Structure 1
């Protein structure tokens, strides 16, 4: 027989005590639970008494009494009955009385010695030392659309810690307002730090450059087949920790080289239009986040986009003003609404004569099908911003509604454009504004 209960005097762990009859060959186990706090000795006494009581109660008796002898006999009364085959008298507890012409009595055997306290060795409970709740590492990620069913303007959020508190609460407030619970993160995200730099790489094909070494705070990384990666597996965000600076990459190979340290190879860079966020170099110490179910979207209304708000993130079992909570102020552009940068930017002609600049647009919505003659626009209207730049100075700023623009010689002369100046083309969104720009130098 096995009894589970809460251990008193320690860390209030759920423990079990059991008792076994030494001459019983059966493997059957009767399990019971008590919603009580007991010492281990008390639990041992209870289970031993239950086992002895259960074995003795196998002996039962059924007998009849005339009404004249049973008027004062009821359930719970104890009677003494003579034993069989020369055995001495035994005590029986009446469990059932059936009223008829003669009263039928059903009783089970009892032994008073079973209810006497047993001398059981006491075990000292183990008490874990108090560990104050430590702050977690929260990260906001304002990411582009990846699956397509996300809320386009809402940022993502995750948290990680070596000593995970079980669940993390996210409280938010407008600047100077009252805090309210906005999100509960039940799972620790797989977050790490890069231990080697990552240089810019090719977009749209496999990056088989130098290995990227990362050290994880918690979690693990797994390799995946190339076809699974092309279908969306092993998405990873790399960035500097600010909400807006994240590049989405994917990887096929992750090799464990030391505890919590991995080498990431065979990467796809600048996924989902994040090539506009790819710098010349992600330095050592950049953050990486595995984009799985532990990374959740924040419930942010459309009217709160681009408004600075205050957040407090910490253990869910603590109030938001506890020292273990991390205070943050952040605003989000809603990068799920951001247009992709155009590609294949080219110019026909020469500086000093008419230049015709053309490009191919991309879409952030349903653009992976090969069956379509043209990918969906993804915006309310097709529009582009063209700028001629001389260093940080804007020489010309135009708008067009088709993927082509002519820079005639008269405009070049009026602008004073020279070799080395740049032409930048960005797609426009009525809800977001200009997306990342594709650029080329005048020659």
Structure 2
């Protein structure tokens, strides 16, 4: 029984005990234990890198990607810090909550052409632990971007992933040199990094434009780390640069001049939906052609179109000291492309 009195905005409650019956024993269950496997987290492993443009919307700032995992399947994330040569100390980059599939090459990939699907060769990789898995993808899924991976600095895709036992896998049905990364095919071998590019697991950090040409450092701390895991990446500007020009052409003209031509590529409109020319993707079309003679002397020619005429007299003089090397880059809004190089 309860009595309530309110006086001067103060409430007073008076409780009076009432007689009750005896306690009734109710049936109950102690429950059961749902045991969880005690998985080892292990120390954090991280990879930091810049990717060539992978979306149809061109970036305005260089972008750093960070992939992280643990030495064991119990890894559950790590807090990330980043700093660059552009100035300032460590800044919070966020937390990697999902483990990326990270590993290394186990062998040397066979030579390949970026313009063809490689159905004859395979790439073997060793993942960070045997709890990691890879899957297959059909042509439609590959066209939508599935099974994209970074091998060294080359962007590849694979149609089939065959488990070889333990943490070893064999990748085949290869699409090599994706998004203009064919120059990175050279120099790959055992120990070259492998990172599956799963957007759900990757952490991205946009850097200041002044960071181009410098180095970005990443520090990661997880529950299994006695000391932070560290990684660094050169900020080359490839995430904001157009791909290198392709398809060089040389034609002799009457009088001995040479017509030099090439085809530009764009960091926008990779899907080529309208089957017309790719969009420029830059504020203006511009190229720099560098002529290097056999004696090391070099000069530049700035151009506004994908072509140049090499005068016969200049060609003869340049060739008098050996072969001539032409290097052509597209000047992007934020960074130049990698060069297209030919020798004449």
TM-score (norm 1): 0.64
CA–CA separation in structure 2 for the residues paired with 1:180 and 1:427: 33
1:158 aligns with 2:71: no
CA deviations 1:91-138 (Å, max 9, x no partner) are: x24xxxxxxxxxxxxxxx536xx9xxxxx9xxxxxxx89x8x753221
1:368 aligns with 2:275: no
TM-aligned CA deviation for residue 374 of structure 1: 1.9
1:298 aligns with 2:205: yes
Q: Does the C-alpha gap of structure 1 residues 233 and 311 become closer, same or farther in structure 2, counting only changes over 3 Å?
A: closer
User: Structure 1: which 5+ residue stretches go unaligned?
Assistant: 1-71, 79-91, 94-108, 115-119, 121-127, 240-245
Q: Does the C-alpha gap of structure 1 residues 285 and 391 become closer, same or farther in structure 2, counting only changes over 3 Å?
A: farther
Match among 42, 49, 61 for residue 141 of structure 1: 49
CA–CA separation in structure 1 for the residues paired with 2:121 and 2:88: 48
CA–CA separation in structure 1 for the residues paired with 2:276 and 2:99: 43
Aligned partner of 1:7 in structure 2 is none
Q: Which has the larger radius of gyration?
A: 1
C-alpha contact 1:155 1:334 (8 A) present in aligned 2: no
Aligned partner of 2:7 in structure 1 is none
Aligned partner of 1:324 in structure 2 is 227
CA–CA separation in structure 2 for the residues paired with 1:254 and 1:303: 40
1:440 aligns with 2:342: yes
CA–CA separation in structure 2 for the residues paired with 1:309 and 1:360: 33
Q: Where in structure 2 are the equivalents of 1:360-399 lying within 5 Å?
A: 360-390=263-293, 393-399=296-302
CA–CA separation in structure 2 for the residues paired with 1:392 and 1:323: 55
- Residue 110 of structure 1 aligns to a residue whose secondary structure is coil
C-alpha contact 1:367 1:376 (8 A) present in aligned 2: no
Whose relative contact order is higher, 1 or 2, with alpha carbons under 8 Å and at least 6 apart?
2
TM-aligned CA deviation for residue 391 of structure 1: 6.4
TM-aligned CA deviation for residue 422 of structure 1: 2.6
Aligned partner of 1:68 in structure 2 is none
For the aligned residue pairs, the C-alpha RMSD in angstroms reads 3.3
TM-aligned CA deviation for residue 224 of structure 1: 0.9
CA deviations 1:210-245 (Å, max 9, x no partner) are: 321111114211111123212321101000xxxxxx
TM-aligned CA deviation for residue 209 of structure 1: 3.8
TM-score (norm 2): 0.80
Q: Where in structure 2 are the equivalents of 1:352-367 lying within 5 Å?
A: 353-367=256-270
CA–CA separation in structure 2 for the residues paired with 1:209 and 1:405: 39
1:251 aligns with 2:158: yes
CA–CA separation in structure 2 for the residues paired with 1:166 and 1:191: 15
C-alpha contact 1:157 1:296 (8 A) present in aligned 2: yes
CA–CA separation in structure 2 for the residues paired with 1:348 and 1:150: 34
Q: Does the C-alpha gap of structure 1 residues 174 and 266 become closer, same or farther in structure 2, counting only changes over 3 Å?
A: closer
User: Structure 2: which 5+ residue stretches go unaligned?
Assistant: 1-14, 31-37
CA–CA separation in structure 2 for the residues paired with 1:162 and 1:327: 15
Comparing both structures, which one devotes a greater share of its residues to helix?
1
CA–CA separation in structure 1 for the residues paired with 2:111 and 2:300: 29
TM-aligned CA deviation for residue 334 of structure 1: 3.0
Q: Where in structure 2 are the equivalents of 1:236-275 lying within 5 Å?
A: 236-239=149-152, 246-275=153-182
- Residue 415 of structure 1 aligns to a residue whose secondary structure is helix
TM-aligned CA deviation for residue 178 of structure 1: 4.6
Aligned partner of 2:221 in structure 1 is 314
- Residue 331 of structure 2 aligns to a residue whose secondary structure is strand
CA deviations 1:246-276 (Å, max 9, x no partner) are: 1101111111121221111111111011113
- Residue 191 of structure 2 aligns to a residue whose secondary structure is coil
CA–CA separation in structure 2 for the residues paired with 1:329 and 1:199: 28
C-alpha contact 1:388 1:397 (8 A) present in aligned 2: yes
Count of residues paired in the alignment: 317
Match among 185, 191, 211 for residue 285 of structure 1: 191
CA–CA separation in structure 2 for the residues paired with 1:294 and 1:376: 31
